[in-house]
């Protein structure tokens, strides 16, 4: 079922992978590792990998067997820097998942939650960067 749900990722990353060279780690696995990390509040990919190695539910979610070698923690970092850094891949995935949730009637605008995480401000007027963010809804 996981492959069906996240199979939309393959066309999104198609141009980021080569047909030649060593076989790469499945991009859906890389994204799902990040999904596990953020969903369960794990602070680093190194710790995420340790959790994946010992948690049967995570192994099942990634479609790994008991003897499947879990990728090294640096693998995601290398892929992020080399493949995903200058793309809007994660935004595309987020909006696609959000759309799927809304299409299934699981999203309600009745309650709104705002993340109040403290973020260090960067008020230096000479170092700011403007970033355009897609606007998906008016609510």
Residue with the larger pLDDT of the pair 122 and 65: 65
Residue 84 has pLDDT above 50, yes or no: yes
User: Residues 6 or more apart from 48 whose CB is under 8 A from it?
Assistant: 33, 36, 37, 42, 73
Domain regions of the chain by residue span: 2-103
**Residue with the two structure tokens 């539910």:** 57
Q: What is the mean pLDDT of residues 37-53?
A: 92
Report pLDDT for 57. 94
> Worst-scoring range by mean pLDDT, 30-44, 73-87, 123-137?
123-137
**Residue with the two structure tokens 């080569």:** 18
> Worst-scoring range by mean pLDDT, 22-26, 45-49, 123-127?
123-127
| pTM listed for this prediction | 0.66
């Amino acid at each position: 079922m996981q492959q069906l749900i996240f199979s939309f990722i393959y066309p999104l990353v198609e141009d980021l992978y080569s047909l030649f060279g060593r076989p790469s780690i499945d991009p859906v696995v890389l994204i799902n590792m990040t999904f596990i990390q953020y969903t369960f509040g794990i602070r680093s990919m190194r710790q995420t990998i340790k959790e994946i190695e010992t948690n049967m539910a995570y192994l099942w979610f990634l479609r790994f067997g008991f003897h499947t070698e879990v990728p090294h923690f640096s693998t995601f970092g290398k892929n992020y820097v080399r493949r995903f850094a200058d793309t809007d891949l994660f935004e595309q995935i987020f909006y696609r998942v959000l759309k799927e949730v809304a299409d299934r009637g699981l999203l309600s605008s009745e309650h709104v939650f705002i993340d109040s995480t403290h973020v260090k401000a960067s008020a230096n007027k000479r170092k700011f960067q403007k970033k355009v963010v897609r606007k998906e809804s008016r609510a």
